[in-house]
Amino acid sequence: MEYVLYASTDEIINVIGEKILRILKNDVIFGNAEILDEEENELSLYCDMFTLQIDNSSDSIKVISEESNIDLKVELYMNLDMQCEDVIKKTIYFVGKYLKEFSCDIILMSNGDVPIILRNSEKLIVDTSRVKKGFPFEVLQTEYVVDKIKFLSD
């Protein structure tokens, strides 16, 4: 299973990677964490729950930016380890930590194409209609509004 988080941050890849690595290492829930590979436009991290690729040159960034009408600049692709206990809950918890660390707009896509979390201009929206009942949005540990996330193509 995969989740893709798109963000409007202006920070450079290695700074984003350092902040995310700090998030992962400062919370025992994520287990081991390390940087696997670092290039100019891409950085890969590993933790016990997922492998994370940070990219600022992906074609999908432009597509999602246009569909959402948000100036997105970075893609965080998370390939989840489904053998990890409570991996989805822990991933949403990670997203909550990301939201606290980065003040930018974000869109979280389930399986890379279903928007389930949107922060735009400080308003956080979760779309419960696109996930199974009981999805662990509460582990975001921040206030949110339940509403439909609409793209221009909807």
Q: Which tens digit of pLDDT belongs to each residue from 100-122?
A: 999 999 999 998 789 999 999 88
Rounded to the nearest 5 percent, the helix, strand and coil shares of the chain are 30, 30, 35
- The secondary element (H helix, E strand) that includes residue 124 is strand 123-126
pLDDT of residue 38: 86
Specify the amino acid at residue 151: F
pLDDT confidence tier of residue 39, bands split at 50, 70 and 90: confident
Polymer length of the chain: 154
Q: Please state, in angstroms and rounded to a whole number, the distance separating the CA atoms of residues 125 and 120.
A: 8
**Is residue 153 domain-resident?**
no
Structurally, the chain folds into a number of domains equal to 1
Give the residue among 100, 97, 94, 106 at the shortest CA–CA distance from 64: 106
β-pair type (42-47, 145-146): unpaired
**Is residue 69 domain-resident?**
yes
pLDDT confidence tier of residue 71, bands split at 50, 70 and 90: very high
**Is residue 151 domain-resident?**
no
pLDDT of residue 113: 87
